[in-house]
Amino acid sequence: MGEETVIVTGCSSGIGLETALFLAERGFRVTATMRDLARGEILRSEAERRRVQMETLRLDITDAQSIRRAVDTVLERSGEIFGLVNNAGINIRGFFEDLSQEEMRRVFEVNVFGTMAVSRSVLPSMRSKGRGRIVLISSVGGRLPALGSSAYCASKFSLEGFGQTLAQEVSPFGIRVSVVEPGLVHTELFGRNRILAGRALDPAGPYREWFLNLEAFTDRMVNSPATTPRDVAQAVFRALRAKRPKLHYLVGRRTRVLVALRRFLPEELFDRVWMREAQRRIQRTAGQSHRARR
């Protein structure tokens, strides 16, 4: 392959930023996109440090006009879009009852409908060329439930179904679809981009103490991650470069172990053990917090 053109969404930080840089280092012609170009300084600085070149464009995946402008610009410059990496996404943390319908809808608008809209916009060009790669950045949360992440997990479960169906529909046109599924990765979703449900910290809420313990446990996990943005970028690279890319790319040892357990254990047994273990860890965190306050 020559210098293939690839669009990556959500490149202002985290997985998108590292993926854009990683692909550019390996010969792809990368267009790194983000909703707010003012937040692209880290990307530009890191690209200069690594001595790679890439183009940056504004692309809000919830804005049809923004999508159309960005895709048209890339096509005018390059004549073809070989790959699309759908990375942009959000998470609103909170138990389901503490999430408003508007908050739930916002997560789906970005993670599901935004991803669908960008994918739809590149398909005509890929079909006309008889080739292309679409990569969806999902999560192990698209296969396994997680306390306090009902909006996120529901959107990622939906993304899994979309990716698998799209793969069947576009395969006859030479287009391949891959779903990348990392576990916990320390990104800005757990930092400055962390969003809490409006009622998650309500003192009168029935889930408040559980949620506080869950946040403490999650922080401890993401601050010593087994999976990094670079691990995810490597999986994306394999999906773009492989002659016969896989439909699923699990990223991280923990993720692979959990998915294997779910595959081989009886479904009801796994679900029972998984729920019990999740609750046990939160309760243990609560006990540790109580002892620390004494």
Residue 286 domain flag = no
For residue 6, the 8-state DSSP code is E
Phi, psi of 75 (to 5 degrees): -65, -40
Residue whose C-alpha is closest to residue 122's, from 181, 180, 182, 78: 78
Residue 284 domain flag = no
Residue 279 domain flag = no
Domain count, the chain: 1
Cβ contacts of residue 111 below 8 Å, gap of 6+? 89, 90, 152, 155, 156, 158, 159
Name the residue range of residue 135's domain: 5-207+227-252
Check whether 286 has a pLDDT greater than 60.
no
Q: Which residues are catalytic?
A: 152
Residue 282 domain flag = no
Residue 184 domain flag = yes
Tens-place pLDDT, residues 132-187: 999 999 999 999 988 899 999 999 999 999 999 999 999 999 999 999 999 888 76
Residue 271 domain flag = no
CATH number at residue 141: 3.40.50.720
Residue 220 domain flag = no
Tens-place pLDDT, residues 222-236: 676 678 999 999 999
Tens-place pLDDT, residues 79-130: 999 999 999 999 999 999 999 999 999 999 999 999 999 999 999 999 999 9
Per the listing, tokens 């840089």 go with 21
3-state secondary structure of 249: strand
Residue 280 domain flag = no
Whether 270 and 262 have beta carbons less than 8 Å apart is answered as yes
